[in-house]
């Protein structure tokens, strides 16, 4: 892949909104043209080169473009927004909305990622090696659909409303989650290997979706009904996929693990499932 290196010119407390940092926006342009792309710094629209140095080789097609953000990018919002192909590697922390509405390609954040990471994601792979903020893979306010495809993996913990209004796709959090994980979800799979936050699955409808609390749950809402304790065969397939294909190495330890199955949210007639590892059941 052709590699472009973007180096932020220091950290700023004023956010830099840089939706243009995608392989789609860079492909086919010269380095000079990329430096001249417009970004928003506070209430000013400026050339990207004013706050980010750009060097390297530009690919003709997005699928052949690698973008490396080399430096502290906590203040840079919308990295990889709407991307369809190619790869982005952030070698430190990333700001809010990283990978939001992406439909393809691969993003890796070596540090932490801000709120709304992967919001309304449609496809591709988004991996955060540190912690993620609130509203991971969630729907934007007023929208009825959050994540509808792709895969998000967080090696650390995540905040509140993980997978809000999720419809399809897979989300994996190796640490803990905050309250309202899977709120309003109507499909998709959420795997939490640390403690599952309170009020998980509130107003979830189901449509085949489930939350797997492999590290136990702080509580299960009273509007979820306990049905059985069993070791589902499909979970073996998921754990093998996570361990062998997606690098979640400790997933293999949960093959054959007994799970307590709860169904709800009965408050809205839902049929979603929360699967809690027996040893961590409330």
Percent of the chain exceeding pLDDT 70 equals: 99
- Is the model's pLDDT at 145 over the cut of 70? yes
Query: What tens digit of pLDDT does each residue of 237-247 get?
Result: 999 999 999 99
SS (H, E, C) the chain: CEEEEEEECCCCCCCEECCCCCHHHHCCCCHHHHHCCEEEECCEEEEHHHCEEEEECCCCCHHHEEEEECCCECCEECCCCCCCCCEEEECCCECCCCCCCCCCCEEEECCCECCCCCCCCCCCEEEECCCECCCCCCCCCCCCCCCEEEEEEECCCCCCCCCCCCCEEEEEECCCCCCCCCCCCCCCEEEECCCECCCCCCCCCCCCCEEEECCCECCCCCCCEEEEEECCHHHHHHHHHHHHHCCCHHHHHHCCCCEEEEEECHHHCCCEEEEEEHHHCC
Nearest 5 degrees, angle CA 6-CA 8-CA 14?
140
Report the DSSP pairing between strands 210-213 and 272-277: parallel
d(CA 52, CA 56): 13
The predicted pLDDT at position 249 comes to 84
C-alpha dihedral sign at 113, 193, 203, 281: negative
Does the predicted TM-score (pTM) go above 0.75? yes
Query: What tens digit of pLDDT does each residue of 190-229 get?
Result: 999 999 999 999 999 988 899 999 999 989 999 999 999 9
Nearest 5 degrees, angle CA 232-CA 238-CA 241?
150
The predicted pLDDT at position 280 comes to 53
The predicted pLDDT at position 155 comes to 98
The answer to whether the beta carbons of residues 121 and 102 sit under 8 Å apart is yes
How much is the mean pLDDT over the chain?
96
The predicted pLDDT at position 106 comes to 98
Q: How far apart are the first and last CA of the chain?
A: 49
The predicted pLDDT at position 282 comes to 54
Tokens of 272: 């979603």
Query: What tens digit of pLDDT does each residue of 75-134 get?
Result: 999 999 999 999 999 999 999 999 999 999 999 999 999 999 999 999 999 999 999 999
Average of pLDDT values for 129-152?
Answer: 97
- Is the model's pLDDT at 281 over the cut of 70? no
- Is the model's pLDDT at 53 over the cut of 90? yes
């Amino acid at each position: 892949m052709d590699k472009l290196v973007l180096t932020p010119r220091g950290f700023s407390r004023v956010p830099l909104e840089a939706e243009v940092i995608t392989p789609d926006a860079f492909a086919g342009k010269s380095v000079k043209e990329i430096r001249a792309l417009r970004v928003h710094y506070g209430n000013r629209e400026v050339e990207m080169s004013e706050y980010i140095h750009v060097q390297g080789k530009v690919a003709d097609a997005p699928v052949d473009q690698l973008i490396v953000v080399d430096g502290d990018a906590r203040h840079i919002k919308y990295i990889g927004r709407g991307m369809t192909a190619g790869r982005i590697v952030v070698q430190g922390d990333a700001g809010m909305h990283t990978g939001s509405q992406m439909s393809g390609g691969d993003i890796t954040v070596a540090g932490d990622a801000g709120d709304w990471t992967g919001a309304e994601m449609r496809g591709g792979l988004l991996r955060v090696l540190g912690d993620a903020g609130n509203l991971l893979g969630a729907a934007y306010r007023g929208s009825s659909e959050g994540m509808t495809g792709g895969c998000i993996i967080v090696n650390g913990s995540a905040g509140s409303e993980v997978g809000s209004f999720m419809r399809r796709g897979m989300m994996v959090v190796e640490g803990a989650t905050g309250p309202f994980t899977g709120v309003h979800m109507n499909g998709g799979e959420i795997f939490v290997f640390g403690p599952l936050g309170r009020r998980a699955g509130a107003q979830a409808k189901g449509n085949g979706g489930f939350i797997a609390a492999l590290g136990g749950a702080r509580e299960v809402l009273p509007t979820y009904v306990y049905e059985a304790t069993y070791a589902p065969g499909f979970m073996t397939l998921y754990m093998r996929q996570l361990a062998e294909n997606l690098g979640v190495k400790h997933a293999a330890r949960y093959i054959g693990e007994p799970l307590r199955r709860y169904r709800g949210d009965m408050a809205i007639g839902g049929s979603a499932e929360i699967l809690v590892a027996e040893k961590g059941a409330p």
